[in-house]
Amino acid sequence: MPILVITGTGTEVGKTVTTAAVAACALAAGRSVAVLKAAQTGVAPGEPGDAAEVARLAGALTTAELARYPEPLAPGTAARRAGLAPVRPQDVVEAAQKLAAEHDLVLVEGAGGLLVRFDEAGGTLADAAQSLRAPVLVVATAGLGTLNTTELTARELRSRGLELLGVVIGSWPDSPDLASRCNVTDLPEVAGAPLLGALPAGSGALPPAAFRVAARGWLAPRLDGTWEAEAFRGRTGSQV
C-alpha cells in the first residue's frame, strides 16, 4: 500500500487528525511517510495548512500542497473565485506517484468529501484515486446521519471499482449517545468494510509527543495500530 487516499464523508469530520494518526503509526513502524494535500482552501498565504498540521502532530515526514485558495469553499469554486488555476486529478496523480518513488507510504488527503469538485470539468478525488488504483480510507462522524453519508461514499467507491480499505470514526465523543453506540456496529455493515479505528474527541489538541504515543491505540493493526473493534464495542457499550 504505497499510496493511501484519505477522504471524509463531509467537512469537519476529523480527516486531518486521522491522517496525522495514520502517519504517526506508520512512522513508529519505521516507514518513511509523505503527506500530499491536493487542495488547501480557507487558509491565507504563509499560514500553516492541513499538511503542516499533520507534520506537527505526527513527526518528521514530507509534506506537499498542490494549490492554496483563500476562501473556505470547494476547491473548484475557490479557484474560480480567486482567479487561480484549479487542481486537476492528473496533478494529484503525478505528485503522488513522484512521492511514492521516494517514500514507503504516501497519504493523499482530499478536501471535504469524495466528490467535491476540483475543477470546472468536475474532476474529483475519486478520479485521482481511480488513476492511482489506490485504496481509500473513509473518515466518518460518530452520530446520527453518519450511516447515510458513509453508505453513499462506499457505494460510489464500489461503483468505480475502488477498494474501500475501511472506516475510521474521526471524533469519538466522551459521552456517546445511543446513535453513536449503535453506529459502531452499523458503520462497517453499511460500508461493506471494516471499522479501523476511532479517535477520541479533541485528539488534535494533544501535545505532539502525547499524540504520537496514543495514536497506535486509536487505529487497527491494518493501519499499524493496536485498536480492536470488538474490544472497543465492549468498552463503550456499543454491543447494542
Residues carrying an active site annotation: 37
Say if CB 108 and CB 134 are below 8 A apart.
Answer: yes
Say if CB 170 and CB 232 are below 8 A apart.
Answer: no
Cα-Cα-Cα-Cα dihedral sign, residues 63, 66, 71, 72: negative
Burial of 148 (0-12, 13-18, 19+ CB in 10 A): exposed
**Facing residues of 181 across strands?**
none
Say if CB 107 and CB 7 are below 8 A apart.
Answer: no
Q: List the grid coordinates of 90.
A: 492528473
3-state secondary structure of 62: strand
The alpha-helical segments, DSSP class H, found in 29-67 are 50-58
Burial of 187 (0-12, 13-18, 19+ CB in 10 A): buried
Say if CB 6 and CB 109 are below 8 A apart.
Answer: yes
219: DSSP letter: B
3-state secondary structure of 167: strand
